[in-house]
Structure 1
């Protein structure tokens, strides 16, 4: 049994810096995997890239495959409430013991090559641990989400992939990926592999889709051209959405929000491809799996306290959140606990959000180097819209205290949003 302190000590010592602009990182990580015996080649991989929707798409697919009887690994970042959320097998997190065991094995291997733990960044450690751990779990498939971009992302160290999925590609991380959609799409297409089946989000911008089509053909990957399902929303509530698929299958989606219908379309295309590849995915498994698919921090609804937690962290994510709130036809404009990172396009995010809220409780997200402070955020809001009430919370507990006070005089929904780091800042604080 591993002492909890050992796990915490290791994770605190890992290098938190980003290494996503170094062209030498992916070749180095491939070499690390080679030293470990190429664990990523011991199971089939579905590799998912995109700006928004990766988490929802991978989780729906994950649950459908489990409901079909397959053993499925999933790597997704960041972990919201625990870092161990990043590595799961059949929806069970890697344990602290397993993490430490994997870490020690990999570190021992690095030392034989005159390297230490700082040879890998925090994110790279989790990627390598996930790929190595999955090889020991007798998986049928692994779903691997890209962290940032594609070509230079640590997950691109994998050698082969069976299916490449592109969720919605839009603007984010322009300082890394480029200032236009074509450049961003080119970076994300770095995950393409020869022989892979390729699926692209149905609402993809034309210039993005053109890049995916061209790059797929150039590398010898097959872009899906089969039927796209007809998905009609029947009833939308904060707890989820009832939908009808192809006028025959009634499904309840716990993953709430209008944008999830397009993500579901992507997932069902992936199901068609899997069936073509001789995977048995019964219709009942689609219904049962989707009823189990849920993600912390993505339109996560707390019915008892009438709170939605959604990590809308860029303009497109904020568009989706606002569209989902409008679809709910709320009787009152919500109160929003909001914290945003300064390296995001927060002006556009605020322009989208402010007309649809009654009050903002500004907080500083749990990322000291990238956060827009609560004072800065409040000042910007007041400058843009003086019809919105603004409060400043010195810390996350204060934000919840203010929200409680608002709740005493209002039945309005409370929405916590702006960043994964905002949600992380208020985790564990009881409403």
Structure 2
């Protein structure tokens, strides 16, 4: 771990502070690097990472130099800041981090210390300017309206989905959460929203009208008809996608609509063959990621996402389903477990723990079998390789990252 990571890790507890004044001043002191490129600003309860993965592949296939800022990371913090599919180098990470560190000395004259997420976001904005990217895909951390990233003006705002998650920060109802998500809409710009609950869709529509936003809504302005994507200008067959799960077709549709809107302002023509190839080649770690042929890693970290996992598991006819679950205590882990139990009553559901902050432990759900050593359990499962069994490792994305790192090391 280099000194910049150590500095950042000392700021983890500063996350979840209200207000954007500190971040606004920070980007100003850095010379507003976010003004150097167009931004597609992406939020949603679930599907943000997958949608960004589809968009990145679509843009890269059309020759664009794409910067992506996503979180959390699966292997290294460097993975959060990428040019194309290449993470920022350790040398550049340190150098850009030192630039933010030096700026903070001035910032501290009027503001509090920067948080971990604020630092990494500022580093990304600086790096993308330095690398002269064509376009940036910027993922919201939590919510939208008050999120650290919302100091930028996105040419296109994207809302992938709205469900109950982070209620302690965003509010306890779909309507309240939708207000937060729609907070990334910018006056006179464009927005794409995925399949939302009716009340969330109405709030997005109202917000778009207030800000004269050109809103493109799933089912109304674009959508899916069996195996075909459609909007007012094009209809094309979706290929077999590089990401598993039927719900990824919805994420692909949202990504495709946002991509096509962006390309309307480009001199380059859209190539339908390249679109097909890009969607087939899209990959995103930890989202129904198949390891071998019987183990899936899926960071389905809220009840809404668990419903999607259940749908996929049910499509695996004739397979005995096992589920190894690890989560953070601050999340709605009971809701996730209850969703799994109701949706897959025949599955073997087991609780485990991992090394990240305050996690769900054996005593928190004594009604479930407990696996003390998930590494040994996974190794034994993969060694036995009963052809009629499939194992889902799920829960926190931090858990998935830890498991994935162990599997890669092995």
Q: With the length of structure 1 as denominator, give the TM-score of the two structures.
A: 0.86
Counterpart in 1 of 2:356? 367
Aligned length in residues:
399
Contact 1:20 1:148 in 2 (8 A): no
Query: 1: CA distance between counterparts of 2:367 and 2:170?
Result: 27
Contact 2:323 2:391 in 1 (8 A): yes
Query: 1: CA distance between counterparts of 2:280 and 2:272?
Result: 13
Distance 1:75 1:135, change over 3 A: same
Contact 2:192 2:257 in 1 (8 A): yes
Distance 1:408 1:42, change over 3 A: closer
Q: State the Cα distance separating 1:55 from its structure 2 match.
A: 0.6
1:22 matches 2:18: yes
Contact 1:36 1:109 in 2 (8 A): yes
Counterpart in 2 of 1:420? 397
Distance 1:309 1:127, change over 3 A: same
Counterpart in 1 of 2:125? 131
- 5 Å-filtered alignment, 1:140-155, equals 140-155=134-149
Equivalent in 197, 212, 217 of residue 205 of structure 1: 197
Equivalent in 249, 258, 274 of residue 246 of structure 2: 258
Contact 1:75 1:145 in 2 (8 A): yes
Q: State the Cα distance separating 1:286 from its structure 2 match.
A: 1.1
Contact 1:110 1:116 in 2 (8 A): no
Contact 2:162 2:196 in 1 (8 A): yes
Counterpart in 1 of 2:378? 400
Gaps of 5+ in 2: none
1:318 matches 2:306: yes
- 5 Å-filtered alignment, 1:7-406, equals 8-12=5-9, 14-17=10-13, 19-23=15-19, 26-114=20-108, 119-158=113-152, 160-201=153-194, 203-224=195-216, 227-233=221-227, 244-245=228-229, 248-249=236-237, 251-278=239-266, 280=268, 281-302=270-291, 304-329=292-317, 331-354=318-341, 355-369=344-358, 371-377=359-365, 379-381=366-368, 390=369, 392-401=370-379, 403-404=381-382
Q: With the length of structure 2 as denominator, give the TM-score of the two structures.
A: 0.90
Contact 2:325 2:394 in 1 (8 A): yes
Could you list the per-position Cα deviations for residues 49-94 of structure 1 after superposition, in whole angstroms to 9, with x for gaps in the alignment?
1101111111101110010111110111100121111111111101
> 1:41 is paired with a residue of what secondary structure?
helix
Query: 2: CA distance between counterparts of 1:114 and 1:352?
Result: 46
Query: 2: CA distance between counterparts of 1:70 and 1:374?
Result: 48
Q: State the Cα distance separating 1:409 from its structure 2 match.
A: 5.6
Query: 1: CA distance between counterparts of 2:204 and 2:271?
Result: 29
Contact 1:361 1:402 in 2 (8 A): no
Gaps of 5+ in 1: 234-243, 382-389
Contact 1:21 1:176 in 2 (8 A): no
Q: State the Cα distance separating 1:136 from its structure 2 match.
A: 0.7
Query: 2: CA distance between counterparts of 1:177 and 1:365?
Result: 27
Contact 2:25 2:107 in 1 (8 A): no
> 2:372 is paired with a residue of what secondary structure?
coil
> 2:297 is paired with a residue of what secondary structure?
strand
